[in-house]
A and B are shown apart, each in its own frame.
Chain A
Amino acid sequence: MYPNPLTTTQAVDPVFKFILGVCIVLLVGITLTMIAFVIRYHRSRSPEPTSQASGNVWLETVWIAFPTVLVLAMFWFGWEGYLSLRNVPKNALKVTATARQWSWSFTYDNGKTSSKLYVPVGKPVLVNLVSLDVLHGFYLPAFRVKHDVVPNMKNHVWFVAEKSGSYDLFCSVYCGTGHSGMITSVEAVPPAQFETWLNQRGGAEHAGKELLEKHGCLGCHTLDGTPKVGPTLKDIWGRSVTVLTNGKERTITVDDRYLRRSILEPKADLVKGYPPVMPSFKGQITDDDIKTIINFLHAGGEAAPKPDGAKLAREKGCLACHSLDGSSGVGPTFKGLYQKRLTVLQNGIRMTITADDTYLRESILKPKAKIVEGFQPVMPDFSDLKTDEVQALVEFIEGVK
């Protein structure tokens, strides 16, 4: 019904020009009329009023009708342009933008994450918006798109970059101390280059892990030991578990046979304490793939690569407030922080401590426990990080000399 124009910019800019043009004509008209009247009928030229007219039905009808038509036209053009912003092209590339105080992170369909939004030139991009804490706003001035990022609400925007280049991405809804620093960019690159970037991997990953991602297993089963909707897959092989078989409890040891059966008939032996919600993968997964996954699980989580501290610092937004070059930001710089003597406030009491492993770990998990003097207690706690991620971050900070 409403054909999409080529880009969001093309949807908004004609409306902008129309309304702005009408506004300027009206403003100039009103101002010039006013100035002309003030000069012509100034008391020095017109010592007495030459009219006592207090109204004119014909004139007043005209200037009710005239703005009515104008504003209804503006309303309609504005609405049509808005619909174009809302109608996402079918072939759009999907990306999820995750906002938190005070950083952005972008996740692609293949699981790749990035702190900048890489997009292919000429292809529409659909961005799903997720907030982990308070309200944020996803704003791309160059593409005229903006949408609030609301916790627990599914919002989206779409845009298409016509030329390669780097475009500003701002947070538009006030979100606290670091609001004006919550800036990243859209990097529009030629499609071939984008494909290469998208499929580049941080390190050689086990084919089994990629299969788990591909089939969505990791949505419910983690590789790091934390239970989610289903039990974790870490060290699962050889583990002794209590399962329900036809309503009866029994204890078994996880082996190849059990794993294969759980994929194909998940409800046959259900691990106690978990809901029977897993769909059967019978007919959806090849025998070879099952073998690859089981081989991966034999290794029991060791195959999960060690987290990269530098990458985490970027993605979790640490670097939005803590610099690497010694300059002071919302928080203290990481440069030379390790083993530095610091004056901190603990429950309002001043004390001097050394920034050692323990202190750095505590500062990530419970940042408000000890605040470095001269800084605001505004850092959100990162207690949702996993133990090995915290360790990787600490090691990364120690390395910034």
Chain B
Amino acid sequence: MTSAAQFSPATSSFWNDTGKSGITSWVFSTDHKRIGLLYLYSVLTFFLIAVSLGALLRIELMAPGRTIMGPQTYNAVFTVHGVLMIFLFIIPGFPGAFGNLIMPIQIGARDVAFPRLNLFSWWLYIAGAAIIVTSLFTGGGPPDTGWTFYVPFSERTGTNVSLAVFGVFIVGFSSILTGVNFVTTIHRLRAEGMRWGRLPLFVWSVYATAWVQILATPILGITLVLILAERVLGTGLFDPTKGGDPLMYQHLFWIYSHPAVYIMILPGMGVISDIIPVFARKPIFGYKMIAFSSLAIAGAGSLVWGHHMFTSGMSDNAVLIFSFLTFVVAIPSAIKVFNWVSTLYRGSISLEAPMLFALSFILLFSIGGLAGLILGAAATDIHVHDTQFVVGHFHYVIFGGAGFAFFGAMHYWLPKFYGRRYHERTAVIAWALLFVGFNITYFSMMVLGMEGMPRRYYDYLPEFAPLNLVSTIGSWIMISGLILMMVNLFRGLFRGEAIGQNPWGGATLEWSVPTPPPTENFIEEPVVTHGPYDFKGAGIP
């Protein structure tokens, strides 16, 4: 906010400086910022649809018995909620939207290494999304398997599973190509003086994420093709009546889908590591440990998938090893939390919207992560596995973690690209509603799980009724906060107060370019002389 008064938005920026306009200048653009915004609009569209489906699920669960829909509809709605949220929002969301918008500028590059491949990735995403949407309205109707597509049920159900998994397969390619693009960009296109030790922590997290995308996603691709083969050709790889093994499917699925959780959360940790120093006016505490722990999480996190299978019938030795490795992954996450909190010590803290989202991220991610310890221990997992406890834990980590970081990133970075900003006090009210509603909704679920209510339940016994009602009321508070946040944010971006080049006083490179940035980002090729959180070195008062 320091320089807002004496600044008017640049007249020439990536919005108009190519001289092209109209829809084709966007959907065929190779500019990483335009592609980033295309991703942003696409993922937010699917996010809002999936939120609405989630709200319907909560209304159905408000009271025992039928409330607004039948069991088959309910099963389809929770499946589609999961598929849209995971495969079309949170996995492509961070790399696609903020990875594209921010990462090239933060390393001092004009664009990503392969701009046309970048555009192709977005088109693949849209093609896959179109196929998934088509699968809801054709064939046997929307899939009713849950987003995990567990066999042999997914082989036998008459719903449109084949087309849906094909769509997810296509979206997977988009993710792999984005990963390849980003790893190459970070290795090859850093500006002069941008040593590895000067990379912003968001870039480090995008880098770790990109490796997971490259290495893990192909396994999901293969697994989904095998489901198709099972359904269409009856190959019998997973079907026990044909000599197949359902547990093999579960291993293949989670070899991707557990690391995928880190694709969702790592960039969120990166965002938080960038926001906190700026709003505390202090260098991040333990830069090297945070950067290293991102890589450690990406590496060790690829070896813990079996903790989804403690009750599956997998051998006890496998349970021993996977439980051990799961606890090992907890260590780098704990290090990050301690470092973030220490950064606040003796700082000068300003509680604006991005900072509120960042601080609530720490709390919600801690609750989700600590609940994860109960799931990681073999004895306690047996009781809470496949219950509402897992649903609560997962939403704490992915919505309270990755989701809140995504909202924080929207408040922190989007004004930079639009040249205008949202109304601050409204943003704080929206955050408060979201935060309170969130905890009511999902904490109730964790308690329900400890009491023994299984997940994916359309109906439940009367003993679970009170907390389900509480959870549903919480979801209404949360959604009102969400609507207020979106309206305030986008109204502000198009019509709000104009902002200057560096409204928050950040020391990373994106704050050294005009607002909004020009198509080639930098007017002169940058030479980096200081670290990402060296505010004195960047000349920020």
Q: Please give the distance in Å from A299's CB to the nearest CB on chain B.
A: 37
Determine which of B153, B337, B346, B451 lies in contact with A41 in the assembled complex, contact meaning CB atoms within 8 Å. B346
A78 touches B240 (CB 8 A): no
Give Cα A54–Cα B283 distance, bound, in whole angstroms: 6
Determine which of A23, A27, A139 lies in contact with B452 in the assembled complex, contact meaning CB atoms within 8 Å. A139
B246 touches A144 (CB 8 A): no
A301 proximal to B (CB < 8 A): no
Give Cα A80–Cα B319 distance, bound, in whole angstroms: 12
A139 touches B349 (CB 8 A): no
Nearest-CB residue, chain A, relative to B288: A55
Nearest-CB residue, chain B, relative to A53: B285
Residues of B near any A CB (own CB < 8 A): 70-72, 75, 144-146, 150-153, 156-158, 240-241, 246-247, 280-289, 310-313, 316, 319-320, 323-324, 327-328, 330-331, 334-335, 337-339, 341-342, 344-351, 359, 362-363, 366-367, 370-371, 373-374, 376-383, 385-387, 451-452, 454-461, 533, 536
A–B Cβ pairs within 8 angstroms, 9 of them: A12-B379, A30-B366, A41-B344, A42-B349, A43-B349, A46-B346, A49-B346, A86-B316, A174-B153
Known contacts: A41-B349, A141-B451, A141-B452. The answer to whether A153 contacts B240 by CB under 8 A is: yes
A172 proximal to B (CB < 8 A): yes
Excluding A54-B285, A174-B456, 14 further A-B contacts by CB distance (< 8 Å) are: A16-B383, A30-B363, A41-B346, A41-B349, A47-B348, A60-B339, A81-B379, A147-B313, A151-B240, A155-B313, A172-B311, A172-B385, A180-B457, A181-B71
Q: Please give the distance in Å from A69's CB to the nearest CB on chain B.
A: 10
Give Cα A173–Cα B152 distance, bound, in whole angstroms: 12
Give Cα A38–Cα B350 distance, bound, in whole angstroms: 9
Which A276-295 residues have a C-beta within 8 angstroms of B?
Answer: none
Determine which of A46, A68, A139, A141 lies in contact with B347 in the assembled complex, contact meaning CB atoms within 8 Å. A46
B residues in contact with A142, CB < 8 Å: 452
A30 touches B337 (CB 8 A): yes
A residues in contact with B70, CB < 8 Å: 376
Determine which of B320, B345, B349, B373 lies in contact with A23 in the assembled complex, contact meaning CB atoms within 8 Å. B373
A180 touches B71 (CB 8 A): yes
Determine which of B144, B151, B285 lies in contact with A55 in the assembled complex, contact meaning CB atoms within 8 Å. B285
A72 proximal to B (CB < 8 A): yes
A89 proximal to B (CB < 8 A): no
> How many chain A residues touch B (Cβ–Cβ < 8 Å)?
85
B380 touches A16 (CB 8 A): yes
Q: Please give the distance in Å from B359's CB to the nearest CB on chain A.
A: 7
A178 proximal to B (CB < 8 A): yes
A151 touches B71 (CB 8 A): no
A residues in contact with B455, CB < 8 Å: 172, 174
Chain B proximity mask over A55-88: 1 for CB below 8 Å, otherwise 0? 1100110011001100110110111111111100
Q: Please give the distance in Å from B386's CB to the nearest CB on chain A.
A: 4
| Complex A-B, nearest 9 residue pairs according to Cβ-Cβ distance, in ascending order | A141-B452, A78-B377, A81-B379, A82-B378, A152-B240, A37-B344, A51-B346, A23-B370, A71-B327
Determine which of B144, B351, B373 lies in contact with A19 in the assembled complex, contact meaning CB atoms within 8 Å. B373
Determine which of B287, B330, B379 lies in contact with A77 in the assembled complex, contact meaning CB atoms within 8 Å. B379
Known contacts: A26-B370, A376-B70. The answer to whether A135 contacts B382 by CB under 8 A is: no
B241, B367, B380, B385: most-surrounded residue (chain A CB, <10 A):
B380
Give Cα A79–Cα B359 distance, bound, in whole angstroms: 34
A50 proximal to B (CB < 8 A): yes
A23 touches B72 (CB 8 A): no
Nearest-CB residue, chain A, relative to B66: A328
Q: Please give the distance in Å from A380's CB to the nearest CB on chain B.
A: 9
Q: Please give the distance in Å from A225's CB to the nearest CB on chain B.
A: 24
B residues in contact with A134, CB < 8 Å: 152-153, 156
Determine which of B283, B359, B457, B536 lies in contact with A38 in the assembled complex, contact meaning CB atoms within 8 Å. B359
Nearest-CB residue, chain B, relative to A144: B383
B457 touches A179 (CB 8 A): yes
A residues in contact with B344, CB < 8 Å: 34, 37-38, 41
A244 proximal to B (CB < 8 A): no
B342 touches A59 (CB 8 A): yes
Give Cα A152–Cα B359 distance, bound, in whole angstroms: 49
Which A1-50 residues have a C-beta within 8 angstroms of B?
Answer: 11-12, 15-16, 19-20, 22-23, 26-27, 30-31, 33-34, 37-38, 41-43, 46-50
B residues in contact with A175, CB < 8 Å: 153
A170 proximal to B (CB < 8 A): yes
B residues in contact with A68, CB < 8 Å: 331
Known contacts: A23-B374, A42-B349, A180-B458. The answer to whether A144 contacts B286 by CB under 8 A is: no
Q: Please give the distance in Å from B194's CB to the nearest CB on chain A.
A: 18
Which A135-168 residues have a C-beta within 8 angstroms of B?
Answer: 135, 137, 139, 141-142, 144-148, 150-153, 155, 168
Known contacts: A79-B379, A82-B319, A173-B386. The answer to whether A67 contacts B158 by CB under 8 A is: no
A52 proximal to B (CB < 8 A): yes
Give Cα A176–Cα B324 distance, bound, in whole angstroms: 33
Q: Please give the distance in Å from B102's CB to the nearest CB on chain A.
A: 22
Residues of A near any B CB (own CB < 8 A): 11-12, 15-16, 19-20, 22-23, 26-27, 30-31, 33-34, 37-38, 41-43, 46-56, 59-60, 63-64, 67-68, 71-72, 74-75, 77-86, 133-135, 137, 139, 141-142, 144-148, 150-153, 155, 168, 170-181, 183, 330, 376-378
A residues in contact with B75, CB < 8 Å: 174, 176-177, 179
Nearest-CB residue, chain A, relative to B282: A49
A176 touches B371 (CB 8 A): no
Give Cα A34–Cα B355 distance, bound, in whole angstroms: 12
A183 touches B285 (CB 8 A): no
Determine which of A20, A48, A85, A137 lies in contact with B386 in the assembled complex, contact meaning CB atoms within 8 Å. A137
Known contacts: A15-B379, A59-B342, A142-B452. The answer to whether A64 contacts B331 by CB under 8 A is: yes
Q: Please give the distance in Å from B80's CB to the nearest CB on chain A.
A: 14
A19 touches B377 (CB 8 A): yes
Give Cα A11–Cα B377 distance, bound, in whole angstroms: 13
Nearest-CB residue, chain B, relative to A171: B454
Give Cα A395–Cα B157 distance, bound, in whole angstroms: 31
Give Cα A67–Cα B287 distance, bound, in whole angstroms: 19
Known contacts: A37-B344, A82-B379, A144-B383. The answer to whether A71 contacts B313 by CB under 8 A is: no
A77 touches B386 (CB 8 A): no
Give Cα A137–Cα B387 distance, bound, in whole angstroms: 11
Determine which of A53, A59, A75 lies in contact with B323 in the assembled complex, contact meaning CB atoms within 8 Å. A75
B residues in contact with A22, CB < 8 Å: 373
A residues in contact with B383, CB < 8 Å: 12, 16, 141, 144-146
Give Cα A171–Cα B385 distance, bound, in whole angstroms: 12
A residues in contact with B457, CB < 8 Å: 179-180
Give Cα A172–Cα B383 distance, bound, in whole angstroms: 11
Give Cα A12–Cα B383 distance, bound, in whole angstroms: 8
A residues in contact with B334, CB < 8 Å: 63, 67
A180 touches B311 (CB 8 A): no
B286 touches A79 (CB 8 A): no
Q: Please give the distance in Å from A28's CB to the nearest CB on chain B.
A: 10
A residues in contact with B156, CB < 8 Å: 133-134
Give Cα A84–Cα B451 distance, bound, in whole angstroms: 21
Known contacts: A15-B377, A71-B330, A137-B386. The answer to whether A37 contacts B341 by CB under 8 A is: yes
B152 touches A177 (CB 8 A): no
B residues in contact with A181, CB < 8 Å: 71, 459
A150 touches B362 (CB 8 A): no
B536 touches A52 (CB 8 A): yes
B71, B152, B536: most-surrounded residue (chain A CB, <10 A):
B71
B residues in contact with A378, CB < 8 Å: 72
Q: Please give the distance in Å from A170's CB to the nearest CB on chain B.
A: 5
Determine which of B146, B247, B345 lies in contact with A150 in the assembled complex, contact meaning CB atoms within 8 Å. B247
Determine which of B241, B311, B319, B370 lies in contact with A137 in the assembled complex, contact meaning CB atoms within 8 Å. B311
A residues in contact with B382, CB < 8 Å: 12, 82, 85, 144-146
Give Cα A86–Cα B311 distance, bound, in whole angstroms: 11
A85 touches B153 (CB 8 A): no
A79 touches B454 (CB 8 A): no
Give Cα A139–Cα B75 distance, bound, in whole angstroms: 20
Give Cα A131–Cα B457 distance, bound, in whole angstroms: 20
B246 touches A27 (CB 8 A): no
